[in-house]
């Protein structure tokens, strides 16, 4: 079986939690795009883990994790992440972690470029809200053919690799010195950095596409783990406030290294309310007073797992979610953090947008979203804790009515509902994977 776990909205939907659950039955979990700008939080009996590069399946000892072809990999960050999780007692070795030889390396200058450009744009109020981790610059250089892939680290003694290093270094020094007045990097320093990374990661690097193909042919269960959500997709998101890769499920097999395979299932993850990290239009934050949003942010501890920044929050957005579901082509839906809404006497839901007096019920990322006003419907709250509920019938009637209303608005059944952060705090409703 090949399944993808994807975000329906702006990211931060709780994909890590869902992947952790699905990984209990999986053999392999694969990251297929993005880099260490991801932030997946998983709470287990042994503690809370924030994962940026490592797939959430790494917390399961019998699961093999893969960083796929479509990723950009900051090897310095990966080394730190591996070290931290090992200190927590989690095994990470070439036995259970494989790095695609085709994945792109995030070079030392990519993070520097990201920080410098965001600082420059911030002075004019036009910053993109980047994580400052160099992701856009790594992808840009991938398509400019001015970076290395992980497999190149295995051939640093070859003249053709050394020639490429010299060429890309010359180009980068021109950019950094000419545009940002930075000190140039020397070739010996660059080669030394590459050799250090090769010494650390050579045992992990392999042809992961062939490994995944053989695994599927042998009946293994493979789960593809997405970063961010549909609204941050480079093609279908709210451009230019997007990630620099495809967050859409259809890209999953390509980014994983198995482009000829078809997905058996797509799990779309929604949060019971709306959240957003980063800049760009976000209609939901205009729906309620700041006091309401701060109360929601505090109740849900809405701070970015990758950045620590306070998330922008608002009511559940039906319009944006319909669009995200269409982009992801999800056949299963997981709804997370329903328990956070337990403190509210009434719960707002965005059912439409109004622009220049015209009612809109469909989402179009190409229009001036900042000029849209949310249309709100209020539903009764349940004002009681639900974290101990383990079946649909145990939920308060108003909580069930809230979930049912979302199902009606999206024209899609919700199969999974989380009612707390712990691994066992969820309800299965309908047929799951």
51 strand-pairing partners = 40
What percentage of the chain carries pLDDT values higher than 90?
A: 75
Query: Taking the CB of residue 153, how many other CB atoms lie within 10 A of it?
Result: 23
pLDDT in tens, 308-354: 778 899 999 999 999 999 999 999 999 999 999 999 999 999 999 99
Residue 305 pLDDT greater than 70, yes or no: no
104 strand-pairing partners = 72, 149
Please report, for residues 7, 49, 71, 230, 360, the alpha-carbon distance to residue 235 in angstroms, rounded to integers and kept in the order given: 15, 31, 17, 9, 22
The reply to whether CATH 3.40.50.300 applies to domain 2-102+205-267 is no
Residue 128 pLDDT greater than 70, yes or no: no
322: left (phi over 0), alpha (psi -120 to 50) or beta: alpha
Please report, for residues 129, 197, 210, 307, the alpha-carbon distance to residue 207 in angstroms, rounded to integers and kept in the order given: 34, 18, 6, 32
d(CA 404, CA 71): 37
pLDDT in tens, 188-218: 999 999 999 999 999 999 999 999 999 999 9
Residue 306 pLDDT greater than 80, yes or no: no
> In CATH, what number does 104-202 get?
1.10.300.10
Pairing, β 222-229 against β 28-31: parallel
d(CA 216, CA 367): 42
pLDDT in tens, 33-76: 998 877 777 777 677 888 899 998 898 999 999 999 999 999 99
418 strand-pairing partners = 426
pLDDT in tens, 241-298: 999 999 999 999 999 999 999 999 999 999 999 999 788 999 999 999 999 999 999 9
What pLDDT was estimated at residue 45?
66
- Please give the CATH topology (third level) of the domain spanning 270-428: Adenylosuccinate Synthetase; Chain A, domain 3 (3.90.170)
d(CA 14, CA 314): 16
Q: Is it true that the peptide bond before 240 is cis, omega within 30 degrees of 0? A: yes
Contact 150, 100 (CB under 8 A): yes
Q: Nearest to residue 375, comparing CAs of 409, 334, 325?
A: 409
d(CA 344, CA 341): 6
| HEC readout, the chain | CEEEEEECCCCCCCHHHHHHHHCCCCCEEEECCECCCCCEEEEECCEEEEECCCCHHHHCCCCEEEECCCEEECHHHHHHHHHHHHHCCCCCCCCCEEEECCCEECCHHHHHHHHHHHHHHHCCCCCCCCCCCCHHHHHHHHHCCCCCEHHHHHHCCCHHHHHHHHHHHHHHHHHHHHHHCCCCCCHHHHHHHHHHHHHHHHHHEECHHHHHHHHHHCCCCEEEEEEEEHHHCCCCCCCCCCCCCCCCHHHHHHHHCCCCCCCCEEEEEEECCEEECCCCCCHHHHCCCHHHHHHHHHHHCCECCCCCCECEEECEEHHHHHHHHHHHCCCEEEEECHHHHHHCCEEEEEEEEEECCEEECCCCCCCCHHHCEEEEEEEECCCCCCCCCCCHHHCCHHHHHHHHHHHHHHCCCCCEEECCCCCCCEEECCCCC
The residues carrying an active-site annotation are 12, 40
pLDDT-wise least confident of 19-28, 65-74, 370-379: 19-28
Q: Nearest to residue 74, comparing CAs of 53, 56, 91?
A: 53
Query: Taking the CB of residue 106, how many other CB atoms lie within 10 A of it?
Result: 30
Axis crossing angle, helix 159-180 with helix 108-122, rounded to the nearest 10? 20
What pLDDT was estimated at residue 180?
79
Domain positions in the chain: 2-102+205-267, 104-202, 270-428
Residues in the chain: 433
Query: Taking the CB of residue 318, how many other CB atoms lie within 10 A of it?
Result: 21
Contact 402, 341 (CB under 8 A): yes
Higher pLDDT, 16 or 304: 16
Contact 333, 415 (CB under 8 A): yes
Expressed in angstroms, the distance from the first to the final Cα of the chain is 10
């Amino acid at each position: 079986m090949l399944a993808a776990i994807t975000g329906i909205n702006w990211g931060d939907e709780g994909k890590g939690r869902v992947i952790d659950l699905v990984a209990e039955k999986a053999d392999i979990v694969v990251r297929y795009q993005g880099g260490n700008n991801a932030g997946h939080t998983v709470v287990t009996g042994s503690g809370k883990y924030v994962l940026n590069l490592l797939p959430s399946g790494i917390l399961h000892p019998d699961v093999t994790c893969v960083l796929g072809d479509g990723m950009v990999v900051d090897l310095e960050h990966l080394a730190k992440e591996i070290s931290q999780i090992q200190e927590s007692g989690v095994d990470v070795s070439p036995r259970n972690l494989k790095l695609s030889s085709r994945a792109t390396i995030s070079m030392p200058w990519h993070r520097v470029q990201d920080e410098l450009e965001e600082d420059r744009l911030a002075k004019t109020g036009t910053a993109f809200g980047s994580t400052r981790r160099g992701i856009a610059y790594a992808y840009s250089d991938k398509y400019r053919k001015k970076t290395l892939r992980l497999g190149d680290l295995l051939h640093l003694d070859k003249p053709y690799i050394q020639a490429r290093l010299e060429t890309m270094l010359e180009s980068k020094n021109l950019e950094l010195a000419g545009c940002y007045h930075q000190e140039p990097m020397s070739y010996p320093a660059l080669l030394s950095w590459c050799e250090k990374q090769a010494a650390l990661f050579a045992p992990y690097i392999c042809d992961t596409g062939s490994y995944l193909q053989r695994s599927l042919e042998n009946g293994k269960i493979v789960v593809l783990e997405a970063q961010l959500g549909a609204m941050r997709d480079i093609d279908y998101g709210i451009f230019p406030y997007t990630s620099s890769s495809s967050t859409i499920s259809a890209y999953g097999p390509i980014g994983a290294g198995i482009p000829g395979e078809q997905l058996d299932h797509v799990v779309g993850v929604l949060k019971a309310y709306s959240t957003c990290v980063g800049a760009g239009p976000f209609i939901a934050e205009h729906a309620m007073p700041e006091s309401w949003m701060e109360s929601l942010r505090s109740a849900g501890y809405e701070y970015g797992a990758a950045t620590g920044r306070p998330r922008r929050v608002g009511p559940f957005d039906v319009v944006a979610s319909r669009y995200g579901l269409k982009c992801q082509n999800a056949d299963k839906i997981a709804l997370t953090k329903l328990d956070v809404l337990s403190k509210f006497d009434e719960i707002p839901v965005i059912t439409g947008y109004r622009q220049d007096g015209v009612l809109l019920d469909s989402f179009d990322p190409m229009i001036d979203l900042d000029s849209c006003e949310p249309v709100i419907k209020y539903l009764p709250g349940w004002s009681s804790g639900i974290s101990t509920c383990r079946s649909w019938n145990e939920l308060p009637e108003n909580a069930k009515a809230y979930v049912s209303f979302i199902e009606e608005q999206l024209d899609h059944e919700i199969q999974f509902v989380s009612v707390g952060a712990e691994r066992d705090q969820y309800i299965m409703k309908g047929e799951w994977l």
